[in-house]
Amino acid sequence: KDGYTAIQLAVRNGHVECLETLIKDGHAKLDKRGARNTTALHESCLLGSDGIESLRILIKHGGDVTWVNDKKESVVDLAAKQNCPELLQVISSNRGQQMLNRQIKNYYDDDDARIKTTNGYRSSERS
């Protein structure tokens, strides 16, 4: 309908309970673009405080907050425009967790070299 994806329609119509099913059954691609080149995450942010739970679910399942719409607005831009600190908190918590996960993966997946940190900088000097 009107160029929206199934997952975007679920978000726009407040059917949060459907999101997990759509995602797990593979019937919805989180980052598929719909009307105005938006993703479901954009649509969640456009709802302001009503989009917090759907945004949490989408991010939990790997939704990408870096995509921009036709107006070159990111999910963060739309959350800020809605003046909803809770949306921004969900996004920032996720980004922080992603960075932490990346660092942990870099540290523990490096079987060949011991990673040393000095003053917060990473090097891959051999031990």
For 5-34, write each residue's pLDDT tens digit.
999 999 999 999 999 999 988 877 888 888
**What confidence tens digit (pLDDT) does each residue in 56-99 have?**
999 999 888 888 999 999 998 999 999 999 998 998 887 766 66
Kindly list the structural domains of the chain, giving each domain's residue range(s) and its CATH number in brackets, ordered by start: 6-111 (1.25.40.20)
Burial class (CB in 10 A: 0-12, 13-18, 19+), 39: buried
Cβ-Cβ contacts under 8 Å for 93 (sequence gap 6 or more): none
Amino acid at 69: N
Q: Compare 84 and 106 and report the one with higher pLDDT.
A: 84
